Amino acid sequence: MKKINITLGAILTTGILFFAACDYVKNPVQKTTTTGGNSTGGDSVVRRKALVEDYTGHECGNCPRQGRILHQLKETIYHEKLIVLTVHAGGFATPHPTHNPPYPTDFQTSEGTTYNNNSDFGIIANPAFMINRTYYTDWAARCSYTAGNGNLSGKIDSVVAAAADFKIDLSGITYDNVNNKINGVAKVTALKSITGGLYKMVLVLSEDSVIAEQKDDDDTGPTTPYVPLFTHRDVFRGTINGAYGTTVFAGATVASGVSDSVSMQAFLITPANYHPTLKPDHCNIVAYIYNADVNSPKYYELFQVEEKELK
């Protein structure tokens, strides 16, 4: 586990920022951007993209505010360079169908709970953002990887401005609508020679614009703060190949131009695997490659992420 040193003043300053924002989305706009699934811009230059994981819960009244900030950044500044996963985990995400008002919908996943309980990540309150799972020394010791929204755009800028080490190509993935299966491979290519390290790729299924209840402290409707028909954005529905993924580039040295891949041949989407109301035409495949070397100072850090609409 990583250790950080931080002054008491820094702890107090960041703690005030975090808990001032903690408690959580007015109905956000519908998804407007579509990515090609190959880590390139319009000029075919490979771009480094950022993944922001937004940890939330449907009974977290302050979380929607932070989710709106994040999606506004995506839709006005970063567009396809920013990919969002909204992870419902922890106490605020627990279904309470008998509460008044009721919160019956269960957005929780086993992988989301695994991440939420990972002591390295240090998720202790909601909302909490992880930005490429970068390790922040300016955050409280118990919040190693999480960051408040005070400098959210600055932290995203630092990711997307960096040169890309890898290219992820999801263009070969297809969806079999008749049999409800995903086919194809997620391909990753090294863009420079890399020595040492251990890399893994995780494949994720997300669903956008899911209508369900949410507490929203900023809502001004007749049922404030309870919103029975709230639009949940980019909901994390689970992984295809486990919470921490599949090893790629297993050798000690990776030469520039070398590729590896993770298969999704005939992967069946069923209610038992994901949510029974899941709508494939609202779903995306998200793939990311990260540093899985526990001895590395960049342990867990994402080096590339890509997204492709399922249908």
First-residue to last-residue Cα distance in the chain:
40
If we measure between CA atoms, which residue out of 109, 154, 96, 111 comes closest to residue 129? 154
Could you tell me what percent of the chain has a pLDDT over 70?
Answer: 80
Q: How confident is the model at residue 45 (pLDDT cuts 50, 70, 90)?
A: confident
Which of 268 and 42 is assigned the larger pLDDT?
268
What's at 119, amino acid-wise?
Answer: S
Mean pLDDT (whole number) for 238-243: 92
Residue 105: Cβ within 10 Å count: 20
Confidence of residue 11 (pLDDT cuts 50, 70, 90): very low
Average confidence (pLDDT) over 27-51: 60
Phi/psi zone of residue 79: left (φ > 0), alpha (ψ -120 to 50 degrees), beta? left
Q: What are phi and psi of 202, to 5 degrees?
A: -115, 135
Segment 116-147, tens digit of pLDDT: 999 888 888 888 899 999 887 655 544 567 77
Confidence tier at 15 by pLDDT (50, 70, 90): very low
pLDDT at 27 over 50: no
Question: DSSP per residue over 253-302, as a string?
Answer: EE-TT-EEEEE-TTEE--TTTS-TT--GGGEEEEEEEEE--TTSTTTT-E
Confidence of residue 253 (pLDDT cuts 50, 70, 90): confident
Residue 7: pLDDT above 60?
Answer: no
Domain boundaries, the chain: 8-164+202-244+272-309
9 — pLDDT class (breaks 50, 70, 90): very low
pTM as predicted = 0.84
pLDDT band at 68 (very low <50, low <70, confident <90, very high): very high
The SS3 assignment for 176 reads strand
CB proximity list for 307: less than 8 A, separation 6 or greater: 35, 37, 80, 83, 170, 284, 285, 286, 287
Surface-to-core class of residue 26, CB atoms within 10 Å of its CB (0-12 exposed, 13-18 middle, 19+ buried): middle
Q: CA-CA distance, 262 to 192, in Å (whole number)?
A: 20
Residue 190 has pLDDT above 70, yes or no: yes
